[in-house]
């Protein structure tokens, strides 16, 4: 019976692969690199995620309409807080839509915009007929993406730099969320958004770099509303399609490293350099950017500019070999730890009756303070409310201090699967005593032998105990 079920599962997977050309290519690449067992396991995980997407409503992004070239009157700002640098080479229609999205979704009093034109010969050369107060830095001879960005940054006046691909459209509030994040903590050097596809599917919730120097876009093709993509976290890198960086740090590390010219791996390298001098790289899920992936350089890694993705991977691997060996996980293993750089953090799971209220009452304020302390103490905290409700604004408040909150119908129906895959990573579990009968057997079935389980009755008391415990680490 088990063998029959396994064969049926395998046939289902193969059928899905064969019907999806993009997945077929990735399947063959993974097969060559990792073998059949790991490849099938990875695709099974992908299918489980695909099933989960139906349980969350995916809001459609706001996109600039085709064919509407309204004149854009940007402000002339004497002391901009942010310089937005958009490197371009032709593709005028994408550049205009990118500018229009900035114009409609950004506080124009805070920004200056620089178009870094790398030798375009289309309507990009007529850009000033479509907008005003946009600075154009033009290279008559193309320099390539990296050198073009580095050159344009020399003309920036902002305290912060945003590098933004021209094949993007920013969504409402994007820049305010990035700014509030980096200004909330002097240890943050670089911050980036959640990237989504034009159809609303997730493109990236932070980037992962594996030990072999290959990169992964966490959550790719999943639903961007799923809870695992919506808490603030440290990441290995943010795709260079949109990053905000302190200008002082950008200049200190020398910008994008030109050893990777013309393009690829410069964004990962920048993140590694920023961490090397003591700063954090942060993913902010409340900032959302639509990315029309592959417009500039295509998707074929065997030809054109895209072939440098493979060439530069080897350069990057050699440059950061010691860090990769010491801090990064083998390719595709322990995704739960790799997604938020928590392999060397203490993991704590809290199972409560609901998301606690964090405002109004004095006790609630104390609870909020303790959650903040847990985050500050470099614990990686996951909260499971037994009602699986996204109680607002409290859920978002917790997510914004780096706590993952598990909610939604899929999780309520599949919590055992979550335990089976992830409970082994938690060193401490706090379980509300009223829920002991429901969860005790499941926890003991899947937790590791080193995991400690504590029952609690009042949330404030157990949070006090937890903070005291952490201070002894």
Is the separation of the CB atoms in 73 and 131 below 8 Å? Answer: yes
pLDDT at residue 31 is higher than 90: no
Domains of the chain: 2-55 (no CATH), 72-338 (3.90.550.10), 346-470 (3.40.50.720)
pLDDT at residue 211 is higher than 60: yes
Predicted local confidence at residue 33, as pLDDT: 79
pLDDT at residue 298 is higher than 80: no
Q: Where are the alpha helices (DSSP H) in 355-400?
A: 362-376, 394-399
CA–CA gap between residue 176 and residue 182 (Å, rounded): 10
Residues facing 428 on adjacent strands: 348, 452
CA–CA gap between residue 278 and residue 253 (Å, rounded): 12
Q: Strand 280-291 to strand 233-234: parallel, antiparallel, or no bridges (unpaired)?
A: antiparallel
Residues facing 208 on adjacent strands: 216
| 356 — pLDDT class (breaks 50, 70, 90) | confident
Rounded to 5 degrees, what angle do the CA atoms 62, 66, 68 make? 100
Segment among 3-17, 38-52, 322-336, 382-396 with least mean pLDDT: 3-17
What average pLDDT score do residues 463-467 get? Answer: 62
Q: Which tens digits make up the pLDDT trace of 95-153?
A: 999 999 999 999 999 999 999 999 999 999 999 999 999 999 999 999 999 999 999 99
Q: Which residues contact 106 (CB under 8 A, 6 or more apart)?
A: 170, 174, 175
From residue 117, alpha-carbon distances to 90, 141, 165, 244, 260 in Å are 8, 10, 12, 20, 20
Sequence-ordered strand ranges (E) for 34-81: 72-73
Whole-number average pLDDT of the chain: 88
Q: Which tens digits make up the pLDDT trace of 137-195?
A: 999 999 999 999 999 999 999 999 999 999 999 999 999 999 999 999 999 999 999 99
What average pLDDT score do residues 199-208 get? Answer: 96
| 473 — pLDDT class (breaks 50, 70, 90) | very low
Q: Strand 72-73 to strand 131-132: parallel, antiparallel, or no bridges (unpaired)?
A: parallel
Q: Provide the CB-side half-sphere exposure for 163 (13 A, CA).
A: 26
DSSP per residue over 208-268, as a string? EE-TTS-EEETTTTS-TTSGGGSS-EE-SB--TTEEEEEHHHHHHHTSS-GGGTTSSSHHH
| 293 — pLDDT class (breaks 50, 70, 90) | confident
Q: Strand 428-432 to strand 404-405: parallel, antiparallel, or no bridges (unpaired)?
A: unpaired
Residues facing 280 on adjacent strands: 188
What average pLDDT score do residues 72-79 get? Answer: 97
Q: Which tens digits make up the pLDDT trace of 254-273?
A: 999 999 999 899 999 999 99
């Amino acid at each position: 019976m088990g063998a029959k079920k396994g064969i049926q599962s395998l046939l289902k997977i193969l059928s899905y692969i064969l019907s999806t050309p993009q997945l077929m290519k990735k399947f063959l690449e993974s097969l060559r690199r990792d073998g059949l067992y790991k490849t099938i396991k990875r695709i099974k995980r992908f299918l489980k995620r695909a099933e989960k997407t139906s349980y969350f409503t995916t809001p459609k992004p706001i996109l600039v309409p085709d064919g509407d070239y309204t004149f854009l009157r940007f402000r002339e700002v004497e002391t901009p807080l942010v310089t937005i640098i958009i490197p371009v080479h032709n593709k005028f229609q994408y550049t205009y839509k990118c500018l229009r999205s900035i114009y409609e979704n950004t506080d124009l009093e805070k920004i200056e915009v620089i178009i870094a034109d790398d030798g375009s010969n289309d309507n990009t050369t007529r850009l000033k007929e479509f907008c005003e107060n946009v600075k154009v830095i033009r290279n008559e001879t193309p320099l390539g993406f990296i050198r073009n960005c580095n050159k344009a940054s020399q003309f920036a006046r902002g305290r912060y730099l945003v590098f933004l691909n021209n094949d993007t459209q920013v969504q409402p509030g994007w820049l305010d969320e990035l700014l509030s994040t980096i200004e909330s903590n002097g240890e943050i050097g670089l911050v980036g958004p959640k990237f989504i596809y034009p159809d609303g599917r997730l493109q990236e919730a932070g980037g992962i770099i594996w030990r072999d120097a290959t990169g992964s876009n966490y959550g790719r093709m999943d639903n961007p509303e799923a809870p695992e993509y919506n808490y603030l976290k440290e990441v290995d890198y943010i795709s260079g399609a949109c990053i905000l960086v302190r200008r002082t740090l950008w200049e200190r590390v020398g910008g994008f490293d030109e050893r990777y010219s013309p393009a690829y791996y410069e964004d990962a390298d920048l993140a590694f350099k920023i961490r090397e001098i003591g700063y954090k790289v942060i993913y902010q899920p409340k900032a959302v950017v639509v990315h029309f992936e592959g417009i500039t350089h295509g998707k074929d890694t065997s030809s054109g500019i895209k072939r440098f993705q493979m060439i530069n991977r080897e350069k990057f691997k050699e440059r950061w070999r010691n860090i990769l060996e010491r801090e990064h996980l083998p390719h595709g293993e322990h995704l739960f730890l790799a997604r938020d750089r928590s392999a060397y953090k203490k993991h704590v799971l809290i199972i409560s009756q609901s998301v606690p209220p964090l405002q109004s009452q004095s006790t609630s304020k104390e609870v909020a303070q303790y959650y903040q302390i847990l985050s500050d103490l470099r614990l990686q905290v996951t909260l499971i409310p037994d009602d699986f409700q996204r109680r607002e604004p409290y859920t978002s408040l917790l997510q914004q201090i780096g706590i993952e909150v598990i909610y939604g119908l899929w999780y309520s129906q599949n919590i055992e699967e979550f335990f089976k895959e992830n409970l082994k990573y938690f060193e401490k579990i706090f379980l509300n005593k009223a829920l002991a009968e429901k969860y005790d057997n499941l926890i003991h079935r899947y937790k590791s032998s080193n995991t400690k389980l504590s029952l609690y009755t009042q949330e404030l008391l157990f949070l006090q105990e937890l903070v005291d415990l952490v201070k002894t680490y």
